[in-house]
């Protein structure tokens, strides 16, 4: 009969196996813990973006502009959102508010929702239906549009909602699939510049001539790229018309 020690669950472990089992347990626990720590430590800082439920529901009035992504230029603000601000809007989940905003393009509208904020960037997740977006009475001021020339920028294409705080991380390769789904759902795309451009490191991106972001650019979402395009300041917001033919992935 073999003298090889044999472990039976309901009996004490045989002497020769005890050290092996102890070492295996310690190595397994320590190894998994170390691997988890190293992988966590290797990740980029997700940043400070978040839903600002602590601000409460925000309601402001402004002019809707389809850039072609809907932007609100605030006319009547509140204690947090000032007149003259311009911000992007989104619906709940991975969807935009294009269909609701389009009939109000160029008109005064009242919007209501929760703010997502990441540093200087903020956008609003609107309430459903007319509670979130409806026409308002009043004079429509002219919104200044200031061409800022052609620029070469480096950075990353993200979806505005996750970047602003709907997800953590809201950018980077780990978030690429989510970002593309958001963009397909009409969430406004944002370019994060390596360094501030005309005072802002976040720019709304469109295609050339004020078209939607071309599908060719979706392949470069979440990668670090360099590209060229015209920048226009619309109200308080920089809009970059990216030229997809000039996109290059950085080293």
Partner 1 sequence: MDVAQALVMGMQTWGIVGALVAAVFLTIGIDRIDEDARGAYAFRPLLIPAVLLIWPIILWRWWQIESERAAWAARYRAVRAPYGLAVCLMSIGIVVIVFTGLSVRQTWPAGIAPVQLTKGASQ
Which residues contribute to the site for partner 1 (CB under 8 A)? 39, 42, 44, 146-155, 173, 193-197, 223-224, 226, 228, 230-233, 249-251
CA distance linking residue 92 with residue 95, whole number of Å: 6
Beta bridge partners of 123: 88, 116
Q: How far is the CB of 212 from partner 1 (least distance, A)?
A: 22
Which residue number, 103 or 119, has a Cβ lying nearer to partner 1? 119
Nearer to partner 1, 134 or 150 (CB): 150
Count of other CB atoms within 10 angstroms of residue 94: 20
Q: Which is nearer to partner 1, 78 or 250 (CB)?
A: 250
User: Measured from the CB of residue 107, what is the shortest distance to partner 1 in angstroms?
Assistant: 25
Rounded CA-CA distance 180/158 in Å is 8
Q: Across-strand partners of 202?
A: 192
Residue 55 or 218: which CB sits closer to partner 1?
A: 218
Q: Least distance (Å) from partner 1 to the CB of residue 178?
A: 16
Q: 87 or 220, CB closer to partner 1?
A: 220
Task: Provide the 3-class DSSP secondary structure of residue 3.
Answer: coil
Report yes or no: 165 and 196 within 8 Å, Cβ to Cβ. Answer: no
Structure tokens at 191: 């370019």
Report d(CA 113, CA 107) in Å as an integer: 19
The single-letter DSSP state of residue 187 is P
Shortest Cβ distance from residue 144 to partner 1 (Å)? Answer: 9
Q: Which is nearer to partner 1, 77 or 210 (CB)?
A: 210
CB of 154 to partner 1, least distance (A): 4
Instruction: State which residue, 99 or 145, has the beta carbon closest to partner 1.
Output: 145
Q: How far is the CB of 89 from partner 1 (least distance, A)?
A: 26
* Cα 116 to Cα 34, 42, 88, 89, 242, distances in angstroms: 34, 26, 10, 10, 25
Burial (CB count within 10 angstroms: exposed 0-12, middle 13-18, buried 19+), residue 3: exposed
Cβ proximity of 73 and 208 under 8 Å: no
- Residue 61: closest CA among 104, 119, 97: 104
Cβ 124 to partner 1 shortest distance, Å: 27
CA distance 89 to 69: 8
**What is the token pair recorded at 113?**
């929702």
């Amino acid at each position: 009969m073999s003298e090889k020690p044999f472990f039976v669950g309901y009996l004490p472990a045989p002497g020769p196996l005890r050290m092996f089992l102890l070492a295996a347990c310690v190595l397994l626990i320590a190894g998994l813990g170390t691997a988890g720590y190293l992988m966590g430590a290797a990740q980029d800082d997700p940043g400070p973006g978040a839903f600002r439920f602590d601000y409460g529901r925000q309601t402001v009035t402004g002019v809707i502009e389809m850039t072609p992504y809907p932007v609100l230029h605030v006319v009547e603000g509140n204690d947090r959102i000032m007149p003259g601000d311009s911000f992007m809007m989104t619906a709940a989940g991975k969807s935009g508010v294009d269909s609701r905003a389009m009939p109000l393009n160029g008109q005064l509208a009242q919007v209501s929702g929760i703010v997502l904020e990441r540093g200087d960037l903020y956008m609003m997740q609107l309430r459903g239906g007319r509670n979130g977006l409806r026409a308002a009475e009043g004079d429509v001021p002219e919104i200044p549009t200031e061409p800022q020339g052609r620029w070469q920028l480096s950075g990353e294409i993200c979806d505005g909602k996750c970047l602003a705080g709907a997800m953590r991380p809201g950018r980077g390769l780990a978030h690429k699939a989510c970002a593309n789904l958001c963009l397909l759902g009409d969430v406004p795309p944002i370019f994060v510049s390596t360094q501030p451009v005309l005072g802002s490191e976040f720019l709304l991106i469109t295609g050339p001539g004020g078209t939607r972001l071309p599908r060719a650019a979706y392949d470069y979402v979440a990668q670090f790229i360099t590209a060229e395009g015209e920048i226009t300041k619309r109200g308080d917001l920089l809009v970059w018309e990216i030229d997809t033919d000039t996109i290059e992935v950085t080293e």
